[in-house]
Structure 1
């Protein structure tokens, strides 16, 4: 094939592959009154139809994960450590083995409805197993299909234009631009896993991986709609998305300039200076098209099959821990006075701005550290529309919660210390809250 024909094919590959990814994964449509992306809408239909069998399969996989990791701990010379993928999935530390065993026990008790009710009830273990079942389908599929967005040249193309904004605002390289966008629009879980994968390929530094994972891996557009609908503020959806976007920029601008993120090393994997070089000659448009086309030209079936590692990692490595930590966090939030005590500073800020039902709203907001659906549950009976709108936004804004993203951030090493995860949650919550309250009051 001649060079010109090859360039044309690469450009078509870039345009068609990226267009399909954006259309299928990112753009929300109205499906008979339900707003969601094509991928998520049909995945949710699939989950709703086969929920029972999917939940049983997940329980069996959680048990398998716990058993194999326990065997690996007790007998290190088995085939588990000799096979690359099995070693990655099942060879871990005693701490995580215990977490997997607890996750398996909880999953069994929830599925068969045995044991203390506070553990398997619909508000605690039941909620977590149901959520884990949905995510065990949605996140792996997102990891697979976002290949069209992230690896068909869109990163290189948009980086030339949006990159001029992300570098001064968020202290990241231009090539992070598309990952920032997809992390904000798509599921945070998949964004963190995808960012880790791109870090391993040499696209991002350790600091950039942390910035994307902790500042932009928010709930998807579909999730924002769900939260708004349950809290009865879906008629304000446009304003909610606008406030989320604006305040997210402000919070990220501040957060990347203060510890702990400001202290993270700006090094690539294995200490390399960089493993991805982007062409810098010619006009921005020509560079964007050339780099994107070259990137698309390198795409093969391997780009998709290589996702099997992270897809199985999410289901077999992380899901047992998500069930374990998420259930414990929900029990603490719902059955102990700890939440009311730690939410007092939030309550004082809300009272300062004369927000109605400040105590209940504060508890709801702080409960988001356990799980991002808890604020919705705890605030659903608040009378004030203004307060419910604030809680809706603040349930999404902090990004970090124990049941999912906190586990992902620490286990993928996007954030190396759990204490840093807690600190980043607190920072994002306290930086965002005054801006959210002021903007909501201006609108309503």
Structure 2
């Protein structure tokens, strides 16, 4: 392989040999294509617009779609969930030939019995919320009503994300960042350099956005099962806007900058430790299909030069048809598969939190642990350390009346670094088939909780006292 001494040379070009006009024009075109497509993806996902809400263009687009659907198509979610359940019944008991011939559609319709039950539960909850029929504990705002509202937002995310994501993942920027950052991410986190894009996307957009990016990269052969599982459970930090909401809810917004700095630092430390611990370390390095990643730099080629050439090679294969086909399939997958899971699992989880004392009993050991760490009101705050597995906002909601600012700071930080919750991220991780079932997911959640608590207590002492 010849050195890439300039951006205009290709790997096969001899040093000092003039390039033909057609080759030069081709390279200029590829560079322009890469800069425009990747620049659009970076702008949509990773460019904060500032202001009080600190939104990205993608989040603004999502909000606009959400408002349009809620105003003009209020029935859309109900019809969607009913269609998902009916199609699941069709795939379970009929399985027509035309359906089996379309692999991607067959995967959505021909589902297992547990997932069929999930869709039927989601349909019952959605119909109950829509028509106001059923027990208040199920359809109220603290359970089914909240999950249906969340699912409506996910519809907007599906439409916005699916057709914009290829500009970030398939236009060359992942290859460029991956090669440049591999010397840092591989030894620290045991993941490819391109995982850094997932991390930044979660910081500035949302954690479910980063998990969906990781899922797509895994399905494309860019991550192994272990790498995808590690990225999903360690790199998908919650977004800055949500951190602001948590800080305001717990009345610790005056310490927001310190809180977010602590959450970021602890999140990175947990990633370094977590990828070296079971169950993540025991997941095999298997790829879904053919491995489709090459971040190793050939001899006599500069790191930056190889990053640029790899990005241009990927940009050369990027076509609008990919955006439309891939976006349509991803949208249908989120709408018909993920949304029923969020509604069903989220409602059941919320009922366990609101209507049963199970988390009071389960959290007793955490109360002892926090007492040993010197956290005020340890047993009162203990349930908040576990309910984040259901939804990341519940810990803040049930901790607003804690008298100690110290304890509220610890709970707020903990809810942000746990990052694994069933209503969104957890559902995607389990469904992605990257070697993490519900049992392993909860074990990882517990590991992060136990490791993060003493670090948060130490930080709270330093910041608040």
TM-score bucket of the superposed structures, by smaller chain:
over 0.9
Alpha-carbon distance between aligned partners in 2 of 1:228 and 1:313, rounded to the nearest angstrom: 34
Q: What does 1:246-265 align with in structure 2 at a 5 Å threshold?
A: 246-265=265-284
Aligned counterpart, 1:72: 91
Aligned counterpart, 2:211: 192
C-alpha RMSD of matched pairs (Å): 2.0
Q: Deviations over 1:331-359 (max 9, x none)?
A: 10011111111112222232223323323
CA contact (8 A) 2:392 2:421 kept: yes
Relative to structure 1, is the Cα distance of residues 393 and 303 closer, same or farther in structure 2, using a 3 angstrom cutoff?
farther
Q: What does 1:13-162 align with in structure 2 at a 5 Å threshold?
A: 13-31=33-51, 33-48=52-67, 50-51=69-70, 53-77=72-96, 79-162=98-181
Aligned counterpart, 1:363: 383
Structure 1 spans left out of the alignment, 5+ residues? none
Aligned counterpart, 2:201: 182
Aligned counterpart, 2:293: 276
Aligned counterpart, 1:410: 430
CA contact (8 A) 1:18 1:148 kept: yes
1:352 aligns with 2:369: no
Q: Deviations over 1:273-325 (max 9, x none)?
A: x3333462311121122211222222111331212212211111111111011
1:401 aligns with 2:418: no
1:307 aligns with 2:324: no
Relative to structure 1, is the Cα distance of residues 275 and 133 closer, same or farther in structure 2, using a 3 angstrom cutoff?
same
CA contact (8 A) 1:219 1:399 kept: yes
State the 1:424 CA deviation.
Answer: 0.9
* TM value normalised by structure 1: 0.93
CA contact (8 A) 1:125 1:327 kept: yes
CA contact (8 A) 2:222 2:293 kept: yes
CA contact (8 A) 1:365 1:394 kept: yes
Relative to structure 1, is the Cα distance of residues 342 and 191 closer, same or farther in structure 2, using a 3 angstrom cutoff?
same
Which residue of 399, 406, 411 maps to 1:391?
Answer: 411
Greater Rg over alpha carbons, structure: 2
1:2 aligns with 2:19: no
CA contact (8 A) 1:163 1:177 kept: no
Aligned counterpart, 1:222: 241
State the 1:139 CA deviation.
Answer: 4.0
Partner SS, residue 333 of structure 1: helix
State the 1:127 CA deviation.
Answer: 0.7
Aligned counterpart, 2:343: 323
Aligned counterpart, 2:361: 341
1:443 aligns with 2:443: no
CA contact (8 A) 1:279 1:291 kept: no
State the 1:46 CA deviation.
Answer: 4.1
Partner SS, residue 134 of structure 2: coil
CA contact (8 A) 1:28 1:222 kept: no
Aligned counterpart, 2:11: none
- Between 1:206-215 and 1:356-365, the stretch displaced more is 356-365
Relative to structure 1, is the Cα distance of residues 384 and 36 closer, same or farther in structure 2, using a 3 angstrom cutoff?
farther
Which residue of 419, 428, 433 maps to 2:439?
Answer: 419
Alpha-carbon distance between aligned partners in 2 of 1:223 and 1:139, rounded to the nearest angstrom: 19
Alpha-carbon distance between aligned partners in 2 of 1:433 and 1:182, rounded to the nearest angstrom: 26
CA contact (8 A) 1:151 1:296 kept: yes
Relative to structure 1, is the Cα distance of residues 54 and 406 closer, same or farther in structure 2, using a 3 angstrom cutoff?
farther
- Between 1:76-85 and 1:419-428, the stretch displaced more is 76-85
Which residue of 357, 369, 375 maps to 2:395?
Answer: 375
1:434 aligns with 2:426: no
